[in-house]
Structures are given as structure tokens and as C-alpha cells.
Amino acid sequence: MNNRSKREEYERVFNCFDKNRDGKLSESEIDEYLGEATKEDTPREKEGSLGLEEFVRLVEEGEEREKERDMKKAFDVYAAMDEQCITPLSLKVALSRLGHPHSLRRCQLMISRFDLDGDGLISLDEFRSMLMH
């Protein structure tokens, strides 16, 4: 989905929430759809309302947090538990569990391709960079 269609989708959702069509989401309109759990984390424009721009920012921030959580979960599948990094051995073990066994040497080669600092390991930041390619 490109940025234009995402923006249009956000506006469509915002308009669905905006029951009285005043261009702002009141606390009751927000709470009706999002529930009390998000009430304290929701930026309010004035008098408990949330404008379109704040709504878009809130949704985009939520999407980014969700992407980061998903990326961390994927990283944790391959990471060595005690080191918080992906080692050749932890990669070998994880790939074997997933039904894709590789030799330790092959895992070292895979890691070297994305090992930006040359330490023979994949950190969370290197993993993030790898996923962006």
C-alpha cells in the first residue's frame, strides 16, 4: 500500500470514528472504538479531542511498534539466549528446528554477509538492517 492510499485509509477510518462529523474524535468516540486501555496513551488535541493529524500519527506509531515487536520476535527465534545475538551455532540450531539444516560453516557464511561490524555475530541492529534489504 503506498503512502497516498494509506493516508486515504486512515482518513476513512477516522471518518468512521467521527460520529458527529466535527473533524475531531472526542474521548467518547475514541473510547468506543479503542477502549479504555488506550485512553492514557492517546494524544488529545484540546478538551479531550483527537484531530486527524494526531490520529494518523497515533496509527503510524502503533504500526511501527508492531513492526518492531514482530522483528524482535523473529530475531529471538535465531538468537543465542545468553548473548542476545545470532551466532553461527544459534543460526544452525534454529534453521534445523525449522526444517532447513545447514552446516556450521554455511551458517558462518550467511552471518558474514550481514555482519556489519565484523564480529562474526548478528546483533539486533544488524538483523534490522538485513530485513530492510
Are 3-64 and 79-132 in the same CATH fold?
yes
Please give the Cα distance from 128 to 2 (Å, whole number). Answer: 21
All residue ranges of the chain with pLDDT < 50 are: 36-37, 39, 46
| Segment 49-85, tens digit of pLDDT | 788 898 888 888 999 999 999 999 999 999 987 778 9
pTM of the predicted model, to two decimals? Answer: 0.64
In the beta sheet, which residues pair with residue 24? 51
Please give the Cα distance from 85 to 91 (Å, whole number). Answer: 10
- Specify the CATH number of the domain 3-64: 1.10.238.10
Look at residue 47 in the predicted model and tell me its pLDDT: 58
Q: Which fold has domain 79-132?
A: Recoverin; domain 1 (1.10.238)
What is the residue extent of each domain of the chain?
3-64, 79-132
